[in-house]
Structure 1
């Protein structure tokens, strides 16, 4: 039974805040909501792609079966669903969509998720029969086109089976759309000899009996403006892979290191049972574990921005999460261990058990958290950290404190998951989607690592996809932001003034 489609047009809304969310007023930049469309329930609106050729949105919908819903977007103030592409005949479910030059690419996992998946490709003006169905690696989780439209890149996560009996290698597939959709799939076996060096710099390889190749799990893709280099977040591993698209080789893996929460500036709210919002320093190291990644260029240097969501492995066959109060802490390293284990302190804070027990005796010499609660600028050429924007939670608390979910303080906080970059007139805008705060933070990027908060936008429940449509491609000839929220199945459309 199809779910009823709910259409609400022109409902402008920003967070009701103690302070004006237009933090740095700008006559050129002011997004407001102009429409919203519900396409289903939970898991109904995960990722969205836009085709300027046909003025259509394509939306991942896994709430009732698995489809790609086709939305007429010729009037952004009144979007409506026109049809659906059924995924069952292609595999077990759709994870991602992308559009370029009149082509629609759909990432489909196999019916058994540890088997190889596929990228199914349609023309956007003829959605009846695909023009190609290309086999890629296991569990293609994200698909995107290079800026010139030549390459279709698939990040194949290769998650294990629930019992961990099968753990396929994580891979990246490069499909050449200019050469009859020929595909090359790259793995990470060549880096097995660098395992110890990578782990010493914060790269995680920790699954049961895992090799680097099987443990590495590609998540999200960014591509340079010349369509020559791709960067892939390896989320659970705390790394980024750099791939040469022309030579079709993995050039390197960048370990992302650790964030020291004991340092001034890195404060976090660690408890959901302290009856307050309390940003403090704690004796914790945290892995960045980024989800989405975006690219920009300045001078002769490539830069990346990651949304440091955090993610762990939690399967019947292997689980790594634990609360601090359930761990035995070494008094030599934690003299105040009894106080730390109280619920109002670190007791309920979630850490990984994959690190911290140096000699395997069940006693922890260090605590390792999950996610950076931030977004970070990295040098895309060498992987060096340029700036960790650790004010993200502070910004949200300052301008939208009534919307802060203190119940998530013990587990990834506001949970930054999505990031995209858009050029609006002479401004470079950075949009950060906060999954657990149901918001998008809008920043202006200045001088590579300078950020000015412009707005805090309310979204639907659990924003997953954040899509910027520049005025030149927009049906309204104004900048648009489309946010798809997997928690409630809503698309929300915001228009720049």
Structure 2
């Protein structure tokens, strides 16, 4: 790959590919801009609707258009002209009503827009992937994938489209499809859908290391809920978060097989560096150690390499199952604690202490006598970096996310009893010779940036205010950007806004 330093007077490069992944085309020239990744500022904004109007966005370099999921009383993809990011303009839409599916995610590669659709006739039925041309929105292909495709992405070489098919049950659990992963070969649009049944014999061993299968589950394969995907730069390997199960799956794209599940373990909040705020009714924000653990339960995942070692990064949001037939979340004060382990149980159950904290109901009774020997909560209120080769944790941000947003003034104390700032999105991008991590925070309405060039010791750079409830964080590298400068696009589902950010030059 030829590397060229771009100054303000340099000629523009001819752009030949189209993707929303900065590493999407290994044949293209890489443009290195002398930017300061700690100085992202908002340069443009557009509101496309109300709640659920701006969920996930993908960028097409060929057309300089943004394609954004809009489920705000509609069923469409909004098309936004990003030729001038300071003045984004909605120029069209792709109506999805004819495809009998509601969109959850989008991805772009080389003039093709792939949309993940869950079934609107039966949510537990198979979903679809519909592919459109980004220039005229004409239909290229539609194929069937697993139930409830929640996230979609192209591989870096464009040879594959992958979906994470969550396979959630209906409210009475009379239908509970297997959670699956679909791999689509774009050369002929053949689909391979994989489930996790072959790992059921490993359930006990996985559980010892923190992997979770609900006690209400009818089978191992039905309980698995794939959430998000990242694909290696060589397009040979994918990693998939299994959010409710507290794990990450490794997928070999060449053989189209799931080759491993990495259980993620538990985080101990009973340390000064992991201290958290656990009450939403104490009229203060106080970070203290508590005798509580958290399952990481990641939502988004991204990847990068450093010194030829591959890593993945997770946004440790946490997620509960809440259905009529089964709910796995309760307030701590309503649960029975082991008197020997928690002799101060009465004090702990006060609302100003741990009483309001939401716990996982089917974990923590380690000796099976009906009371909790440990308290386990949802999410880790952090991002984490893991070694891709071993699945072992390399770094966790501890309580930095909540503390930094509190300093910014955006921490929502009314979420303290639940999952704090709820890290939702993670994207790692190359800026010059640095690996820069962007972390979207759903409940603190912000994104954070870190330099993760040294994965064991990330350096905090910046916290930036976003719209309400940021769902999607998209990085557009300088080589693909209409401004020839790196851009971050944040789609916020709470208020239907899309905001564009750009860093200063050094």
Question: TM-score, length-normalised on structure 2?
Answer: 0.90
Residue of structure 1 in register with 2:375 after alignment: 367
Q: Secondary structure at the match of 1:311?
A: coil
Matches of 2:252 and 2:92 in 1, distance apart? 37
The answer on 1:415 being equivalent to 2:422 is: yes
Distance in 2, matches of 1:28 and 1:257, equals 32
1:490 lines up with 2:500 in the alignment = no
List per-residue Cα deviations over 1:224-280 (Å, max 9, x = no partner): 110000000000000000000011000010000000111332111111122221111
Structure-2 change in CA distance of 1:398 and 1:322 (3 Å) = closer
Find the counterpart in structure 2 of residue 153 from structure 1.
162
Check if 1:473 corresponds to 2:480: yes
Structure 2 regions of 5+ residues with no counterpart? 1-34
Do the aligned residues in 1 keep the contact of 2:36 with 2:503 (CA within 8 Å)? no
1: CA distance between counterparts of 2:470 and 2:99? Answer: 27
Corresponding residue of 2:96: 87
Contact 1:419 1:432 in 2 (8 A): yes
Deviation for aligned residue 1:363: 2.2
State whether residues 33 and 493 of structure 1, in contact with CA within 8 Å, keep that contact through their aligned partners in structure 2: yes
CA distance in 1, matches of 2:355, 2:192: 47
* Cα 1:283–1:102 shift into 2, 3 Å: same
Report the counterpart of residue 30 of structure 2 in structure 1. Answer: none
Equivalent residue of 2:414, what SS?
helix
Separation in structure 2 between the aligned mates of residue 496 and residue 207 of structure 1, nearest angstrom: 48
1:374-413 residue CA offsets vs partner (Å, 9 max, x unmatched):
000011112111111114235415631x222111111100
Contact between 2:276 and 2:399, CA under 8 Å: does it hold in 1?
no
Normalised by the length of structure 1, the TM-score is 0.92
Q: Which runs of 5+ in 1 are unaligned?
A: 1-25
Stretch deviating more after TM superposition (233-242 or 389-398): 389-398
Q: Classify the secondary structure of the residue corresponding to 2:333.
A: helix
C-alpha distance in structure 1 between counterparts of 2:462 and 2:471, whole Å: 18
Q: Distance between the aligned counterparts of 2:210 and 2:233, measured in 1?
A: 29
Q: Deviations over 1:112-168 (max 9, x none)?
A: 11000010011212313x211110000000000111111101000000011111110
CA apart distance, 1:28: 5.8
Higher deviation after alignment, 486-495 or 425-434: 425-434
1:427 aligns with 2:434: yes
Q: Determine if contact 1:207/1:215 at 8 Å carries over to the other structure.
A: no
Alignment size in residue pairs: 469
Structure 1 residues 397 and 134, CA, compared in 2 at 3 Å: closer, same or farther?
Answer: closer
Q: Which residue of structure 1 lines up, in the alignment, with residue 445 of structure 2?
A: 438
Give the direction of change, closer, same or farther, for the CA distance of 1:286–1:132 in structure 2 (3 Å limit): same
Secondary structure of the 1:346 match is coil
C-alpha contact (below 8 Å) 1:114/1:160 kept by paired residues: yes
Partner of 1:17: none
Matched residues in 2 for 1:484 and 1:172: separation?
25
Q: Distance in 2 between matches of 1:48 and 1:314?
A: 28
SS in structure 1 at match of 2:97: coil
2:308 counterpart of 1:318: no
Please, what is the CA RMSD of the aligned residues? 1.4
Check whether the contact 2:402–2:411 (CA below 8 A) recurs between aligned residues: no
